[in-house]
Amino acid sequence: MITLRQALDIHEALIEQFGGSRGVRDQNALTAALERPFSGFGEIEFYPNPQEKAA
């Protein structure tokens, strides 16, 4: 799992290399996107294997 800190560090590295806007417009949306592959209901994971989580 990529943590919020890792995602922000990757974002900064890409800005340094390619340019772009710094900062995050909606940190809650970013956090939700990072956690979505690990969602489920009860004991059932919606994306049970790494390939599905990555897709």
- pLDDT at site 46: 95
Tell me the pTM: 0.76
Identify the pLDDT of residue 13: 97
How many whole angstroms separate alpha carbon 27 and alpha carbon 43? Answer: 28
Q: What is the DSSP letter of 14?
A: H
Separation of alpha carbons 7 and 23, rounded Å: 12
Provide the CA 42 distance to its chain's centre, in angstroms: 22
pLDDT digits (tens, 9 = 90+) for 1-55: 899 999 999 999 999 999 999 999 999 999 999 999 999 999 999 999 999 999 8
pLDDT for position 36: 94
In degrees, to the nearest 5, what angle opens at C-alpha 41 toward C-alphas 36 and 39? 10
